[in-house]
Amino acid sequence: MRSLPLPLALTARLSPVVVLAAAGWALSSGPAATPAADDRTATQKTEDESPTAPATAAASKTYASAPSPCDSLGSKTIKDLVPGAKTAGKEIPSTDSKLRRTCSWNALKGYDYRWLDVSFEITQSDEAAEKSYKERIAARSGGGDVPGVGDAGYSVVNLTTEDKQQTREGVVMIRASNALISVTYSGSDFESKKAPGTDEINKGAIKAAKEAAAALEDGQKG
């Protein structure tokens, strides 16, 4: 079987990595309670400074670094979504791997091509992650919510055609505290020049995103 060149849109799809500066939550306790004539004041101050105060509880949800993206998916998922790909994947170089990491899997099996990317990005706060998340989904209209994962989830599927070759691409974005997860899953058939169905691509991208979110939660919470 003769090899077929991949469309330019597939081979040059990865965008430059944008690295965000990150800072961990500062966990500090207040000054120790000092003796006071009013026992109620001293008691109130001690309760306010308790390590179980709400501020400390919120800080425990912060992620300090990005996990290994190539270890975030099970081998069965990779084999199902990207037939013929090496399950180890290939990590994309980053200027700061503590803050942003991306792994890519792609393979051509027969005439059927699949590409899967999983990215983790750590921002400096929950608020920064929420702002970035909202900006990204606003730029990709036409999708819908992904319930039951992280603090917010969104998926969208688009069809493109280049030189009569169709490619269908699904993108899922998840926000979990101050972390952002992005999954891109695309496919093409170079024999029929058709793309896989919307449902297949959307479900595959969501499956990968949920596994990636579980890997982040299991191994990276401070």
CATH of region 64-220: 3.40.1000
Total-model pTM: 0.72
Question: Counting runs of H as helices and runs of E as strands, what totals does the chain give?
Answer: 6, 7
Give the start-to-end residue ranges of the domains of the chain. Answer: 31-60, 64-220
Q: Which amino acid is at 187?
A: G
Question: What value does the mean pLDDT of the chain take?
Answer: 79
What are the tens digits of pLDDT across the range 91-103?
999 888 889 999 9
When mean pLDDT is compared across 56-70, 105-119, 194-208, the lowest value belongs to 56-70
What are the tens digits of pLDDT across the range 192-220?
999 999 999 999 999 999 999 999 988 75
